[in-house]
Structure 1
Amino acid sequence: MRSLLVLSGGHPYEEKPFEEFIHSLGDWEVTHLVHPEAEERVAAGAAEQADALLFYDMAGYTFADGRVATRPPAPGFVGAITRRFEAGRGAVALHHALAGWAEWEAWHDWLGGQFFYQPGEWRGVAMPGSGYRHDVAYEARVAADHPVTEGLPASFPVTDELYLCPIEESAVTPLIRAEGFAFTRDNFYSAANAVAGDMFSREGWEHPPESNLVGWEARALAAPLVYLQFGDGPATYANPPVRQAVANALHYTSGGT
């Protein structure tokens, strides 16, 4: 049996539904590591040994007293993931992994996008903090004939959290778009305000419109890196086309054998 390594931690989620979800994605021997252990075990070789790798983590943050502090990953973790990608062995990233490791610039360059909890810089351009919106009902529309979208309906309903943040469409292969919901400031809330204790607020926050991509393939050195924005909670975990897309992505990024 081929092996699947799942990394989580740094962001809350419902553990039992998520465990059921990751065991529904195919005939894998699943190892699930949670930070900080995940960082240590990857540095020791866990990611290089796994056939498939799934990031569902948002590491590198400490939230306390209305503030957020960030740190980079340990050099051993960076080296292990880099060696995997240099060898042409890919990975899948879900949902809040787009925010993880705010201080690891290469990670976001590879992903082709970044969710910012605080104002930052995206490819030389100053960016405000990103936006979030829970429980958005939208239509996920397949944008490309691709191994990740194989067997999916042309469109399917999803109710999930969406992000307003920079995505470099010119650097990725678009796979799935969110239709029926505008990716503009007035439809989202400020992540920076939420960190400061003011949830569901836009006060003092501006943000330019952004891409409606919720699924794409990027390139991480010599390897495919697929990002799917699905994954805020149990309703999404249980959505059959979402499960199919994630299963397809794991099969594809692991070499498809």
Structure 2
Amino acid sequence: MRRLLVLSGGHPYEAAPFAALLARLSGWQVEHLVHPDAETAVADGAAAQADALLFYDMPGFTFADGTVTSRPPSPGFVAAIKAHFARGKGAVALHHALAGWADWPEWAQMLGGKFLYRPERLDGRDCLDSGYRHDVDYQAVVVADHPVTQGLPQHFALCDELYLAEIFEDQVTPLIRASHEFAAHNFYSAAHAVAGRVFDNSAWPHPAGSNLVGWTRPVASGHLVYLQFGDGPAAYANPHVRRVLANALDYVTQDKTGETRA
């Protein structure tokens, strides 16, 4: 049986429904670690025997008194994650994992994008903080014939949170897009929310962004799939989300047969 190491913590979520999602993964022996203990455990070797990693975490932040501070992961954690991909192993990252480890630039490069809680200079560009919008009813649109999208309808309905974030489209293989207008008036400023102004997009002239919500990219000798799905129980229970998650985990652990991955 394949071994899956799940990392969570750093962002609130409903534990029981998420555990039910993990329990439905067939053919996996699941170990679930929660930050801050997860960081230490991975540095101490917890990922060494994992066939795949599932990131549902947002570590490296402290939110207090209307401000956010951040820190990089420990050298041991960084070394363990890099070693996992160097062995040809893979990972799937869900939802708020796009915001994790703000002070570890390689994390964003591995994921293929970054959610910003504050303005930042990224790849030579000055970027505003990212946007969020809860409980969006939208259609997910499959844009690639790929192992991750096998068995999915071309369109499927979701009610989930969406992000207006920095997506490195030129560095990833697009898989799924959202039929939603990714413009500032449809989202709220993350920096405003940190400051206590929740659901506010005033004085936040964020440019229009990518509608990409699912993609894959190589990382060292392995692969990573990012899926923006997964804000809460409605997404966990969606059969198409469950299918694409299972497909993604299969994809990043498929045997090396010499065939070229997209």
Same fold (TM over 0.5): yes
Q: What are the within-5 Å matches in structure 2 for residues 122-133 of structure 1?
A: 122-133=122-133
**2:218 aligned partner, one-letter code:** R
How far, CA to CA, are the matches of 2:106 and 2:21 in structure 1? Answer: 29
Say if 2:5 and 2:33, in contact at 8 Å, map to a contact too.
yes
- Which residue of structure 2 lines up, in the alignment, with residue 224 of structure 1? 223
TM value normalised by structure 1: 0.98
* Aligned-residue offset at 1:216: 0.1
- Which residue of structure 2 lines up, in the alignment, with residue 100 of structure 1? 100
- Which residue of structure 2 lines up, in the alignment, with residue 7 of structure 1? 7
Gaps (5+ residues) in structure 1? none
Q: Cα deviations across residues 190-243 of structure 1 (Å, max 9, x unaligned)?
A: 000000000000122111111100000022122111000000000000000000
**1:10 aligned partner, one-letter code:** G
Q: What are the within-5 Å matches in structure 2 for residues 1-257 of structure 1?
A: 1-179=1-179, 181-255=180-254
Question: For structure 1, which segment, 116-125 or 98-107, has the greater mean C-alpha deviation from structure 2 after superposition?
Answer: 116-125
How far, CA to CA, are the matches of 1:253 and 1:87 in structure 2? Answer: 12
**1:217 aligned partner, one-letter code:** T
Q: CA RMSD in A?
A: 1.0
How far, CA to CA, are the matches of 2:217 and 2:111 in structure 1? Answer: 6
**1:240 aligned partner, one-letter code:** P
Say if 1:164 and 1:184, in contact at 8 Å, map to a contact too.
yes
Say if 1:110 and 1:221, in contact at 8 Å, map to a contact too.
no
Q: Secondary structure at the match of 1:160?
A: strand
Say if 1:111 and 1:219, in contact at 8 Å, map to a contact too.
no
How far, CA to CA, are the matches of 1:71 and 1:140 in structure 2? Answer: 34
**2:74 aligned partner, one-letter code:** A
TM value normalised by structure 2: 0.96
* Aligned-residue offset at 1:85: 1.0
Say if 2:162 and 2:228, in contact at 8 Å, map to a contact too.
yes
Count of aligned pairs between the two proteins: 256
**1:16 aligned partner, one-letter code:** A
Say if 2:51 and 2:90, in contact at 8 Å, map to a contact too.
no
* Aligned-residue offset at 1:256: 5.2
- Which residue of structure 1 lines up, in the alignment, with residue 259 of structure 2? none
How far, CA to CA, are the matches of 1:32 and 1:89 in structure 2? Answer: 18
Q: Secondary structure at the match of 2:84?
A: helix
Say if 1:116 and 1:130, in contact at 8 Å, map to a contact too.
yes
| Structure 1 segments of 4+ aligned residues over 3 angstroms from their partners | none
Q: Cα deviations across residues 128-179 of structure 1 (Å, max 9, x unaligned)?
A: 0000000000000111011100111111001000000111111100000001
Gaps (5+ residues) in structure 2? 257-262
Identity value in percent: 61
Say if 1:88 and 1:222, in contact at 8 Å, map to a contact too.
yes
Say if 1:10 and 1:60, in contact at 8 Å, map to a contact too.
yes
Say if 2:7 and 2:38, in contact at 8 Å, map to a contact too.
yes
